[in-house]
Structure 1
Amino acid sequence: MDIDIKNAKIDLIQWLTTIEDPSLIQKLMQVRSDESNDWWESITESEKESITKGISEANHGALKPYSEAKKIYEKWL
């Protein structure tokens, strides 16, 4: 598998050197940018607050047993 990834990278590098279309280069640059963005920056403030609250509760031992959580969220699982 590792060899396949190395070969794929080499193929992509060779292909990139032949691209003349500026719009395709822009699309590829956008993909690169999107991949390097932190998911935390793309979620809402409400989602951030909810996650922060959950972490705080977990750090203070205010956790529910799995069986309770399963009952609450069963309809979505």
Structure 2
Amino acid sequence: MDIQAEKLRLIEWLAGLNDPNTLQELITLKKDTEADWWDEISAEERADIKEGMLQSENGQMIAHEEVMKKYKKWL
């Protein structure tokens, strides 16, 4: 099976598809098969992101320029 040729045939078929029900089924299938990056990261990474968001909401931020200046030697 030539996967690239199959993809092109599907694209052509999809481009000509006018049935809203079939389109909705395909959209649902796509959503069901996609992995959410949030579920793929570790609990520690999620906790760090949540902490950063909370800090941002509380105005506890450092300007990008300051961070870049401080860590320039490692970048």
TM-score with structure 1 length normalisation? Answer: 0.52
Residue 3 of structure 1 corresponds to: none
Residue 26 of structure 1 corresponds to: none
Between the two proteins, what is the percent identity of the paired residues?
24
Residue 44 of structure 1 corresponds to: 42
RMSD of Structure 2 on Structure 1 (CA): 2.8
Tell me: CA distance 1:11–1:72, structure 2 relative to 1, closer, same or farther (3 Å): farther
Aligned residue for 1:64, secondary structure, equals coil
Residue 55 of structure 1 corresponds to: 53
TM-score with structure 2 length normalisation? Answer: 0.53
Structure 1 segments of 4+ aligned residues over 3 angstroms from their partners: none
1:2-52 Cα deviation digits (max 9, x unpaired): xxxx9871178xxxxxxxxxxxxxxxxxxx83xx11100000011101100
- Paired residues in the alignment total 50
Q: CA offset at residue 71 of structure 1?
A: 2.3
Residue 10 of structure 1 corresponds to: 12
Residue 28 of structure 1 corresponds to: none
